[in-house]
Amino acid sequence: MAEDGRTSQKVVAAVEAGGTTFVVAVFAAPVTSVWDEPLRRAEMATLRDAQATLDGVVAWISETVAELGEGNDDGCELVGVGVASFGPVDLNKTSASYGFITTTPKAGWANTDVVGTFAAAFGVPVAFETDVNAAALAERMAAGAGAEPEDVGDAAFVYVTVGTGVGVGVALDAETAVHGLLHPEAGHMCVGMHPADAAAGIDNLHVCPFHAWCVEGYVASGGLAARFGVAAADLASVPDDDVGWDAVAWYLAQLVINVTLVLSPHTVVLGGGILKRRSLYARVRSHVHTLLNGYLAVPRITDSIEAYLRPPRLAEPGLTGAALLV
């Protein structure tokens, strides 16, 4: 409410906290559709100094709301913040560490109070979710909307991101994501070594500091940098026909098969920076069929795998999901 009693413009802030980049935006409130566009948007690097990164996000939101208020005769009011974060995170609202990033391998970010930082800065409700759960909810909503809506029914919807890490989010319906004791951490599921890697005696391609066998260690940017002998920032320079990508797709196919067998989802969406390499989709689909070896007689998988295992429909599922949380 403006000081003279008139109604101010109400906005929400959305924060997608990624291991490499934070994306932050301000949307007109309330956000009711996955197709709502932000009023302002910015990106900033995820620094090793967690508090400095969060302080930069807080400053940008404050400055942006103030600027929007200057352009509106009735002012501008921030009414909520939605945060979709890399993890692991504590989503248990009764926990003393609710809203924290907890045992992340991301240097400088373990035991970081994300929700507390934004709540103290703005004094408004702060909604908190994993980046991949938020993206799964947004992608599930997008699947049922638009020019060619899908009938998702009551099946689960899975979103996988492959970038600095590997995350897996699960939407049970349009509003409910899987939490449980923690939340899905399927990026750290056990996978077998690719036969060519095993035959070559390669043992230095897996870079997860916690496990010697998880999919994240093989296909996230650090593992790929070790495989191809380039810096993570230069992975785009590796040609599509490099045989190493076949092994990467093989590891991802194991992840897809495992979530398929456990959750029986309607759709598995593969997103994240590494999947901007579109040639990977065909490789992963091929390996899914090969490794399943005819076990699942499900037409959506056997005959329509391009629909079952596909890229995101939304340009920024995590950011959109964060905005919808508020």
Tokens of 242: 């490099």
2 in a domain, yes or no?
Answer: no
Q: Are residues 185 and 58 in the same domain?
A: no
In sequence order, which residues have a C-beta less than 8 Å from that of residue 11 and are 6 or more positions away? 26, 27, 28, 29, 39, 65, 68, 76, 77, 78, 79
Same domain, yes or no, for 208 and 292?
yes
Structural domain includes residue 68 = yes
Same domain, 122 and 173: no
Domains in the chain, number: 2
Confidence (pLDDT) at 85: 97
Q: What is the pLDDT of residue 1?
A: 46
Q: Which domain holds residue 14?
A: 9-133+317-325
pLDDT tens, position by position, 278-297: 999 999 999 999 999 999 99
Looking at the structure, tell me whether residues 321 and 261 fall in a common domain: no
In Å, what is the CA distance from 301 to each residue of 254, 285, 286, 294, 305? Answer: 15, 9, 11, 10, 5
In terms of domains, do 121 and 180 share one?
no
* Residue 104 maps to a domain: yes
For residue 147, the model assigns a pLDDT of: 67
**Does residue 70 share a domain with residue 161?**
no
Closest CA to 131 of 172, 93, 83, 178: 83
For every residue of 98-141, DSSP letters joined together read: TTEE-S-SSTT-TTEEHHHHHHHHH-S-EEEEEHHHHHHHHHHH
What is the mean predicted confidence (pLDDT) over 88-101?
96
Q: Clarify whether residues 210 and 113 are in a common domain.
A: no
Strand, helix or coil for residue 282: helix
| Cβ neighbours of 262 (radius 10 Å) | 13
Q: With CA atoms as reference, report the closest residue to 291 among 263, 268, 261, 267.
A: 261
Exposed, middle or buried, 35 (CB in 10 Å: 0-12/13-18/19+)? exposed
- pLDDT (0 to 100) of residue 41: 98
- Residue 138, domain member (yes or no): no
Same domain assignment for residues 17 and 108: yes
Residues 157 and 128 in one domain: no
Most distant pair of Cα atoms in the chain: their distance: 75
Task: Assign residue 237 the CATH number of its domain.
Answer: 3.30.420.40
C-alpha neighbours within 13 Å on the C-beta side of residue 282: 5
% of the chain residues with pLDDT over 90: 83
> Is the model's pLDDT at 4 over the cut of 70?
no
Mean confidence (pLDDT) of the chain: 93
- Report pLDDT digits (tens) over 5-55: 557 899 999 999 999 999 999 999 999 999 999 999 999 999 999 999 999
Report percent pLDDT > 70 for the chain: 97
**Judgement on whether residues 124 and 191 belong to the same structural domain of the protein:** no
Residue 243 is given by DSSP the state T
Q: Is residue 39 part of a domain?
A: yes
- Taking only the tens place, the pLDDT of each residue in 163-217 is 999 999 999 988 899 998 899 999 999 999 999 988 887 766 778 888 888 999 9
Q: Say yes or no: 103 and 207 in one domain.
A: no
